[in-house]
Amino acid sequence: MRILSGIQPSGKLHIGNYFGMMKQAVELQKRGETFLFIADYHSLTTLPDVNVLRERVMEVAIDFLACGLNTEKNCFFRQSEVPQVCELTWLLSTICPMGLLQRAHSYKDKVAKGFEASNGLFSYPVLMAADILIYQSNLVPVGKDQKQHLEITRDLAIKFNDRFGETFTIPDGYIPESVAIIPGIDGQKMSKSYGNTIPIFGKEKEIRKLVMSIVTDSKGLDDPKDPEKCNIVALYKLFATSAQLEEMKKQYRAGGYGYGHAKQALFEAMWDYFGPMRKRREELLANLDHVRDILKKGAERAGEEADKTMVKARRAVGLR
């Protein structure tokens, strides 16, 4: 089974990224052959600054490797190092109905947030389809906000196969039910768009300050509190053992336990959890050539698979 995932280099990776996508990608290494790419083509729709893009690509690569990505089991590469995906995007575009893209909610959401209404942003789902189909992917882990894009991918693959003959594997989506929405420091879904994130890696003082700024209600130290309606507890359960979590809930209900105490416990659990990854990250920062070599080898492997698919796709449509 071939599994495919991608992540945009849109800023510092945060704990929402980790528990929502990165941890899943690392765990899926055990289930099959994994292709994981840094989606720098996609990021051009919202991140036009050249220097910032280059920096963020390397940051994402380093962070993923630090978080446990096994390059012996994974093909890890930069999307733009496999330009064949752009050719496949065009082939898929010729059969993609405009209505299919007009119904895509992601485009409307981005425009509503102030992003330029470009053709690239509008046709984003077609490039995503090419990313998936060019590697003949069987399984694609997606968040609920990307489920519609995967449905578009399946629609395009089926339509292409029906018109030109069997060319693409029809991928299935994988949305783990255990992955809850990770709250940000303001209680909304943790997202760079909301500016409410806690980074995976950062200076101790910076992360502590963010944790201490998590929004709570106005209940005082002595007041009993509801742990099921608290952002601190929702985050703490990601890092704590079952016994630690139950103890915090017990103290919440009993009273005499303030939000400051809970935030300190959360910070300590979070800091300890990512400790081994911080150490690995420092080692990678000291050897960037090693990181570049991993991405290069991954791109070569991905390119070989992309070439196989493109031979079939070109023949199918009558180009060669």
Domain boundaries, the chain: 2-180+288-317, 202-273
3-state secondary structure of 75: strand
Q: Which of 73, 159, 192, 219 is catalytic?
A: 192
* Cα separation, 243 vs 250, whole angstroms: 11
Let me know: does 60 contact 22? Beta carbons within 8 Å: no
pLDDT at 22: 87
Listed residue (135, 33, 88, 82) closest to 297, CA to CA: 82
The one-letter amino acid code at 279 reads K
How sure is the predictor about 180, in pLDDT bands with cuts at 50, 70 and 90? low
Residues 162, 87: Cα–Cα separation, whole Å = 20
pLDDT in tens, 5-47: 999 887 789 999 898 888 888 888 888 899 999 999 998 887 7
30 is catalytic: no
By DSSP bridging, strand 172-174 and strand 139-141 are parallel
In this structure, CATH architecture of domain 2-180+288-317: 3-Layer(aba) Sandwich (3.40)
139-143, 240-244, 259-263, 288-292: which range is least confident on average? 139-143
Opening angle at CA 214, ends 280 and 144, nearest 5: 70
Q: How far is CA 122 from CA 9, 45, 79, 148, in A?
A: 19, 9, 19, 14
Confirm whether 159 is a catalytic residue.
no
- Contact between residue 59 and residue 9 where contact means Cβ atoms under 8 Å apart: yes
Of 12, 23, 73, 189, the active-site residue reads 189
Local confidence band at 233 (pLDDT 50, 70, 90 cut-offs): very high
Backbone phi, psi, residue 193, to 5°: -60, -30
- How do strand 74-78 and strand 2-7 relate by DSSP bridges? unpaired
* Gap between the Cα atoms of 112 and 15, Å rounded: 26
Instruction: Specify the pLDDT at position 306.
Output: 98
Task: Tell me whether residue 192 is one of the annotated catalytic residues.
Answer: yes
Interval 78-108: pLDDT, tens: 999 999 999 999 999 999 999 888 888 877 7
The H helix count followed by the E strand count for the chain is 16, 5
Above 90 in pLDDT, residue 174? no
Query: Which of the four pLDDT bands, split at 50, 70 and 90, describes residue 59?
Result: very high
Q: Considering only CA atoms, which of 254, 250, 260 is closest in space to residue 224?
A: 254
- The pLDDT tens digits for 267-281 are 999 999 999 999 999
Q: Whole-model pTM?
A: 0.87
CA 119, 47, 153: angle at the middle one, nearest 5?
A: 50
Look at 20-29, 175-184, 208-217 and tell me which has the smallest mean pLDDT.
175-184
CB 266 within 8 A of CB 211: yes
Catalytic residue among 110, 225, 237, 263: 110
The fold of 202-273 is: Tyrosyl-Transfer RNA Synthetase (1.10.240)
